Amino acid sequence: MNKKIILSLIIIAVVAAIGVGGTVAFFSDTETSTGNTFTTGGIDLGIDNQSYYNGEFNENTSWLLTYDLDDSKGFGLDGKYFYFNFKDLKPGDWGEDTISLHVNNNDAWVCADITLTSNDENDIVEPEADLGDTEPEGELAAEINFIWWADDGDNVLEDGERIFFGSDFNLGDLKVDNTYTITIADSNKNIFEENEEPLNGCDDPATCTYYIGKAWCFGELIPTYDGYGDPTQEPGFTCNGELVTNLSQSDSVTADIGFRAIQSINNKNFTCKD
């Protein structure tokens, strides 16, 4: 009698075990995340330039959008890209350039750096000597004046467009090989907006373009803000060469102009002049 009871218990236990096994097979779930990827973003600063010399379009200092100013495809010697390349200046000569900046593809702080690379006297010709010119450095850098402003893309200085550089500075304030840094956008200011936001980065340069107008004058440059979209007629400033003297005859000046972009997302407190 006892043996039968024990056998029955064993059979019940086996059946129970089989029932549990069947339940696990029918109630299951799998969650798999596939294709996990880290991809670095990038910052690529694109620049183009439209240049006018004494009111006429100047091809030699103009170029279409490029993301590499070292690609040897410019109009200058050895394929260089020049903002300025004028060899026979006269007092009262002037120029206007409109630079467009395109940040691809992350938001970025942007700065400009101007480095005076030479300010040469060259020969002291008779008119210079008559004025007592004996300096080893030239005077031309001090007699070329600049203004830069946040432009709307039409190559003229108009009412409401902010001049952010030049009214209190010219190349003559620099020593050779010294650099002056200009803030386009950093954690202290943005020349295009009344805030401290970076320039927007995007994949399509047509949708995030920032324009910088810059004018130079061999003489006194006076903003008038009366431009109306035609840089050959009313550029929004005047250039007066009456005060230029013979001291700058035969002088020459060279300078480097560079723009740099720095990602903003992990550089919240970045300033261009750090």
Distance CA 96, CA 153 (A): 12
pLDDT score, position 4 = 47
Identify which has the larger pLDDT, 156 or 17.
156
Per-residue pLDDT tens for 143-189? Answer: 999 999 999 999 999 999 999 998 778 888 999 999 999 999 999 99
% of the chain at pLDDT higher than 90: 59
* Local confidence band at 7 (pLDDT 50, 70, 90 cut-offs): very low
For residue 33, the model assigns a pLDDT of 72
CA 163 to CA 184: how far, in whole Å? 12
Q: Is 243 helix (H, G, I), strand (E, B) or coil?
A: coil
pLDDT at 166 (0 to 100): 87
DSSP-assigned letter for residue 233: T
The model's pTM is 0.83
Between 66 and 32, residue with greater pLDDT? 66
CB atoms within 10 A of CB 239: 20
User: What's the CA angle centered on 230, arms 226 and 234, to 5 degrees?
Assistant: 35
| Contact indicator for 84, 214 with CB cutoff of 8 Å | no
Dihedral sign (CA 139, 91, 76, 152): positive
What pLDDT does 131 receive?
A: 73
As a whole number of angstroms, the distance between CA 144 and CA 208 comes to: 32
What is residue 86's predicted lDDT score, i.e. its pLDDT?
A: 92
Q: How confident is the model at residue 25 (pLDDT cuts 50, 70, 90)?
A: low
pLDDT at 6 over 50: no
> What's the pLDDT tens digit per position in 54-84?
999 999 999 999 999 999 999 888 899 999 9
- pLDDT-derived band at 52 (thresholds 50, 70, 90) equals very high
Give the three-state DSSP class for 112. Answer: strand
What is the predicted pLDDT for the residue at 66? 92
Q: What is the pLDDT of residue 133?
A: 74
| Residues 173, 263: Cα–Cα separation, whole Å | 31
The pLDDT of residue 51 is 96
